[in-house]
Amino acid sequence: MLDRTEIKRLAAEAGFDLCGVAPCHPMPQAEERFRAWLGRGLHSTLGYMERHTEKRFDPARLFEGARTAVVCAVGYKNAASNGYPAAHRTRVASYACAADYHTSIRAMLGRMLDALLKTRPALRGRAFVDTAPLAEKQLAVEAGLGWIGRQSLLVTPALGTYVLLGELLLTEPCGSYDAPFEGSRCGTCRACLDACPVQALTPDRTVDTRRCISRHTVERDPDPAAPLHGWIFGCDACQSVCPYNRRAPQHRNPAFDPLFDPAAMTADEWFALSEEEFDRRMGQTPLTRSGLERIRRNIG
């Protein structure tokens, strides 16, 4: 049987700031909300969201034999997380200023899993970092880490929404589990709703990706006529105004140190970058998903 205290110790040693442990079970209410969101067409061109819905909300169907879900979070807040001057034309979401989190978090989860397997030869486990159909935000609520805010993101009391998630699904039960996070602590605050320049946030705490700037700057098949409001990769507009984010500490894990400062770069400097210079300065960051040519088009 797994030990929750040991799991949390390993998470802290691996560099995570938060860790919660939940039993694997179906999440029918969350699945119903998700299917309603799909039914309204709010996923727009994100066709991959339609696949494997039955697995997304039942971890044991995604990884056979899964009994325990370990949900880990690491803070990534940096200088760019506080927002940009109103006239700045080349805004980059703050998570994209550091090395690609998929690589960093997968390595951190790998260290945790290796340590668990050393003393439990019969244990099987699998790590997930935002690339498989796993409802990680809802699983984080089940593991007691926070609640789903009005901007559709996980809000944690200590670190706000500036967290990146990774999960381990394990085939053994745990001796005890964290209690699910109950309710919401957004109160009457509407800062995120009011800050979204394209009104992409819906009343039911989901996102209309037909409008969302992040979708138009990062994902495939963007609308070339979509207003981007100075964002060239991602968007933090709904996050930088959140009271929980404003009082959240800067990131502690050096793996999430920014590799460049987008606030110090002008449009002219982006256009002057060669492909070689872009690869040298930003080649480890998520910006490679778009590439320099598309980023220049986003500047307009």
Of 100, 114, 130, 223, catalytic: 130
3-state helix, strand, coil in the chain (%, to 5): 40, 15, 45
Question: Shortest CA distance to 179 belongs to which of 141, 213, 216?
Answer: 141
Secondary element (H or E) of residue 156: none
Helix (H) or strand (E) holding 59: helix 59-62
Closest CA to 207 of 246, 179, 227, 235: 235
Q: What is the DSSP letter of 128?
A: E
Closest CA to 143 of 30, 22, 3: 22
CA 100 to the chain's CA centroid: 12
Chain-centre distance for alpha carbon 9? 23
Confirm whether 130 is a catalytic residue: yes
Beta-ladder partners of 156:
160
**Contacting residues for 103 by C-beta, under 8 A, at least 6 apart:** none
Q: Which residues are catalytic?
A: 130
